[in-house]
Amino acid sequence: MKELTCIVCPRGCHLYIDDNLKVSGNFCKRGETYAIEELTHPSRILTTTMRIENRNSKLVCVKTNKKIPKEKMLDVMNEINNQTAKAPCKIGDTAIENILGLGVDIIFTSEVD
């Protein structure tokens, strides 16, 4: 039996998952979906910063536009750290397309003129 606290909504249900992936303790279907995903294929949205060229501000905020597999987090961070953005940067614009072939883009979450 595994135990998790659901993070999908503010309710914070205490989830219990048996060896057959039967979930109990969830108030809604989203809790069941979260528990099964977390145990079978955990993924996360990554938020971080990226270097930017020729600006007073040395960093610009970025994030993934979709969840990435948890085991790929460090690989994605290394790739972001190896690249440099060029201004201007607008919120929502793509900084890196299809990072590591995951079908996920890195997008700007702050602006730099």
Residue 3 pLDDT greater than 90, yes or no? yes
84-85 and 47-52 as β-strands: parallel, antiparallel, unpaired? Answer: parallel
User: What number is the average pLDDT over the span 10-39?
Assistant: 95
Q: If you average pLDDT over residues 82-90, what whole number do you get?
A: 92
**ω before 88 within 30° of 0 (cis)?**
yes
Give start-end residues of each CATH 3.10.530.10 domain in the chain: 47-108
Residue 56 has pLDDT above 90, yes or no: no
Q: Which CATH superfamily is domain 47-108 in?
A: CPE0013-like (3.10.530.10)
Judged against a pLDDT cut of 90, whether residue 54 lies above it is answered with no
> Tell me, what amino acid is at 51?
R
